Structure 1
Amino acid sequence: MTPLAQHFAPHGLLRIALNHGNRILVSRDREGRAQGISVDLAQALAAHLDLPLAFQHYERAVDVSASATEDAWDVCFLAVDPERARTIAFTDPYVKIEGSYLAGADCPAGDAVELIAAGLPVGSVVGSAYTLTLQRLPGADHLVLYPDIFAALDSLDRGQVAAIAGIRAVMEKEAVLRPGTRVLEPAFMEIRQAMAMPQGRPEASAALAAFLADLARRGVTGDILEAHGVDRSCALTPA
């Protein structure tokens, strides 16, 4: 094992944390195997380092970030957030994803501005990047937090909240399944996804940033996005 690989994987195995709560970046195939943008990037990194790869599976972003100090994983995929950065060293973002509201069929708000101005209850997933942002914005007092997206959607279906917050592409898919619901304009944030490592591995963190920037410059990141149905215009080129 090279010294750099040792910095990345002190246990001899590159442990990659997958956040299954972000269905744009990772999902499971019919056999339950992980697939998606995060998986492809993880495999590229493991090949680059010539390291064996193992996935650590988490259902929520908050579970990934909360375990950053527990030596449970070596690399993760999360949205950049200053609260998370206390324990996690992020690369520059490689993709941008919008955060939007899905309004219930009976929601009186015509757009996202009206939703917040009216003080209507909005559901959101605890610990997600969009929740962390919304908790710092006007309307934070009217957030109703749920353990996962499925609980938030159930609350919307029951009329317990006027809308829920989430990743725009996911909200659009859920709107198709729920007659009368709609995604409100404008988006409330731009979610910038990055790769990251636990704080305290400066050599590996710098190498990870350089690896990701090289993929972006060569167009590999855009190719991976397109292969999984995400427009390559969403790709960013890290510095």
Structure 2
Amino acid sequence: MPLDPTLIEAFTPTGTLRASINLGNPILANRDAATHEPFGVSIDLARALAQRLGVPLELVVLDTAAQSVEAVSDGHADFGFFAVDPKRGETIAFTAPYVLIEGFYLVREDSPIRSNAQVDEAHNRVAVGKGSAYDLFLTRELKAAQIVRAPSSPTVVQTFLDEGLEVAAGVKQQLEADAAKAGGLRLLDERFMVIRQAMGVARARGPQAAAYLADFVEAMKASGFVAQALARHGIAGASVAPPA
């Protein structure tokens, strides 16, 4: 069935579907070391959406979630991939999540901090990626601990080490990989949040575009596309979100 031209116009005012890709979340997007081309679950979904709409695709590749949110909100990209958050929801209409990712705390091996409940104390400084989902969440939730914002999620552990901070917060897999390189670090035993990773379009694009994107995500989950993409890219520790 041909798509409504107004829907195509809502998604592609420039004639090309521009996908905002955030490299700050390595579970979903990375850049090939040899070719420098982006790859990952987000890119696979972007290509599938462009194919369904029958339009050319352009990848707008950015380093942080905050930049990605801004690009879609300001109209420099047509849709993107985000962790659901009420602050971002002021300008972006989210789909239901397609992937669930865990947020964890990281400390030094000899740290007295053994549980999540011990993090929110006045003498603790917590490194987060500026504008990330867990930055937004912890900004609301932490009452006593001080938040220190690293330039991006991939630089959280280095900021934590360089500044002698007490805690680093982030996506479990990123923290595990960085801890393995640095040594002498450990994750706490429980997650502090579940990051609901969704697709999103600017609210200004209208309800028709938001509804189409929401239906697309449900179809991608139900068909096994998301699970296959996670497996194809060797992603462990992230799970396909349940149906909306």
Shorter-chain TM band: over 0.9
Match of 1:11 among 7, 11, 14: 14
How far residue 210 of structure 1 moved from its aligned partner, in angstroms, is 0.6
Deviations 1:24-71 (A, max 9, x none): 100011210000010000011111111100011111101111233321
User: How large is the RMSD of aligned CA atoms in angstroms?
Assistant: 1.9
Determine helix, strand or coil for the equivalent of 1:22.
Answer: coil
Describe how 1:65-76 pairs up with structure 2 within 5 A.
Answer: 65-76=69-80
Query: 1:237 maps to which residue?
Result: 242
> TM-score by structure 2 length?
0.91
Query: For the residues of structure 1 that align with 2:83 and 2:161, how far apart are their CA atoms?
Result: 27
| Structure 2 match to 1:58 | 62
Aligned partner of residue 122 in structure 1, secondary structure: strand
Moved more, 112-121 or 126-135: 112-121
Q: Distance in 1 between matches of 2:135 and 2:197?
A: 15
**Shift, 1:177, TM fit:** 1.0
Bigger drift between 91-100 and 197-206 goes to 197-206
SS in 2 for 1:51: coil
Identify which of 204, 210, 213 aligns with 2:215: 210
Hey, what does 2:106 align to over in structure 1?
A: 102
Structure 2: distance between partners of 1:226 and 1:140: 40
- Describe the shift of the 1:34–1:12 C-alpha distance in structure 2 as closer, same or farther (beyond 3 A): same
Q: Is the 8 A contact 1:99 1:191 kept in 2?
A: yes
Task: Give yes or no for contact 1:106–1:162 (8 Å, CA) kept in 2.
Answer: no
Q: Is the 8 A contact 1:134 1:140 kept in 2?
A: no
For the pair 1:26 / 2:29, whether they are aligned, the reply is yes
Q: Which amino acid aligns with 2:169?
A: A
Residues paired across the two proteins, number: 239
Aligned to 1:225: 230
Specify the alignment match of 2:202 in structure 1.
198
Does the CA contact (< 8 Å) of 1:89 and 1:198 recur in 2? yes
Distance 1:14 1:54 in 2: 6
C-alpha separation in 1, matches of 2:222 and 2:102: 23
Q: Distance in 1 between the 2:30 and 2:83 partners?
A: 17
For 2:50 and 2:180, locate their aligned partners in 1 and report how far apart those are by CA, in whole Å: 37
- In structure 2, what is the equivalent of residue 122 of structure 1? 126
The whole-number CA distance in structure 2 between the counterparts of 1:16 and 1:77 is 8
- Corresponding letter in the other structure for 2:168: I
1:168 counterpart (172, 187, 191) = 172
Question: C-alpha distance in 2, partners of 1:27/1:158?
Answer: 25
SS in 2 for 1:161: coil
Question: Paired residue for 1:186?
Answer: 190
Q: SS of 2:230's equivalent?
A: helix
Residue identity opposite 2:66 in structure 1: V
Secondary structure at 2:190 match in 1: strand
* Identity percentage of aligned residues: 36
Q: Using the TM superposition, name which of 143-152 and 164-173 deviates more.
A: 143-152
Q: Is contact 1:222–1:232 with CA below 8 Å preserved after alignment?
A: no
Q: Distance in 2 between matches of 1:204 and 1:42?
A: 15
Structure 2 Cα separation of the partners of residues 157 and 223 of structure 1 = 36
- In structure 2, distance between residues paired with 1:217 and 1:194: 15
Gaps of 5+ in 2: none
- Structure-2 separation of matches of 1:232 and 1:118: 31
**What is the letter of the counterpart of residue 162 of structure 1?**
E
TM-superposed deviation, 1:204: 1.2
